[in-house]
Amino acid sequence: MKLRKVTAAAAAAFALSLTATACGSDDGNGSGSGSGDDKITVGIKFDQPGIGLKTPDGKYTGFDVDVATYVARQLGYKPGDIEWKEAKSADRETLLQRGDVDFIAASYSINDERQKKVDFAGPYLLAHQDVLVRSDDDSITKPADLNNKRLCSVTGSTSAQNVKTKLAPQAELQEYGGYSECLTGLENKAVDALTTDDSILAGYAAQDQFKGKFKLGGFKMSNENYGIGVQKGSELKAKINTALEKMVSDGTWDAYVKKNFGPADYKNEPAPKIGVVVS
């Protein structure tokens, strides 16, 4: 990938300078300062507490952030070498195809459509599509109740796609750029429900400013296998799979789940088997 090439180029320049020195032509350019400058660019969500969040003081937190940091370390990058970039749902394939990011860990479900454009390592989490409704609303007790309701979701997500094609084609769907944009609408009754993965919804419901205001339906309407997106054909896929396997077997996966999903009381599925997508 991009960064690997930089490394290779720096190494080649350094090797050339050594050759030049060996030939007696000392031009003073042989500093070879390439090492330590390498960065890796990682796409995450910026507005999903518990998953991927940029805090007001400029820190990055969440399960995806921890997983990505672990993976980057296995690839040879320290946390300080990581450049975080926002990867909104609709932008993920393009970011990878353009080489704007090296990999993406952003509640990114593996599916056939996306696999035509990008490759996935993983999965590293199994979530399910659900709904978030106001606590005092008892009119949505099953997925079919969503028909004729005002639903909010995000452009380019499997959540919005599933609503249109199978879950509730009759629903009045409003699509935004990020899920956090749906929350105000849910609070002030501009929409009746927000639909996406239960892992994301649990994080919102647990936020201080929303405590007691919203509840999850608990519907498990789909299987969302979170993968790490890489460019099609990238050799990073195999390396990331090795890192993910290590993360699960050394107990780090469990620790990250507790740390990030514990506060939201999210009942997660067990660690997925790397390479096995649950349909």
* Closest separation in Å from C-beta 187 to ligand GLU: 20
Residue 81 CB, nearest distance to ligand GLU (Å)? Answer: 25
d(C-alpha 266, C-alpha 264), whole Å: 5
Count of residues in the chain:
279
Among 224, 230, 253, 257, binds ligand GLU (CB under 6 A): 224
Residue span binding ligand GLU (CB under 6 A) among the ranges 26-34, 135-143, 152-160, 209-217: 152-160
Find out whether 123 and 129 touch, Cβ atoms under 8 Å.
Answer: no
Confirm or reject binding of residue 109 to ligand GLU (CB under 6 A). yes
- Tell the smallest beta-carbon distance from residue 196 to ligand GLU (Å): 5
Are the C-beta atoms of 229 and 103 separated by less than 8 Å? yes
- For residue 175, the number of C-alpha atoms closer than 13 Å in the C-beta half-sphere is 14
Angle in degrees, 0-180, between the axes of helices 236-249 and 63-74, rounded to the nearest 10 = 110
CA angle 42/47/48 to nearest 5° reads 90
39 close to 83: Cβ distance less than 8 angstroms? yes
Contacting ligand GLU (CB under 6 A), which of 17, 69, 107, 195? 107
Choose, by CB under 6 A, the member of 17, 41, 69, 89 that binds ligand GLU: 89
Pick 126 or 133: Cβ nearer ligand GLU: 126
Choose between 17 and 101: whose C-beta lies nearer to ligand GLU. Answer: 101
* Shortest separation between residue 259's beta carbon and ligand GLU, angstroms: 20
Judged by CB under 6 A, the stretch of 34-42, 107-115, 116-124, 163-171 that binds ligand GLU is 107-115
Distance, in Å, from the CA atom of 185 to the CA atom of 247, rounded to the nearest integer, reads 38
Q: How far apart are CA 131 and CA 152, in angstroms?
A: 10
Binding to ligand GLU (CB under 6 A): which residues in 158-187? 158-159
**Taking CA 93 as the corner, what is the angle to CA 194 and CA 152, rounded to the nearest 5 degrees?**
10
Q: Which stretch binds ligand GLU (CB under 6 A): 78-86, 105-113, 130-138, 239-247?
A: 105-113
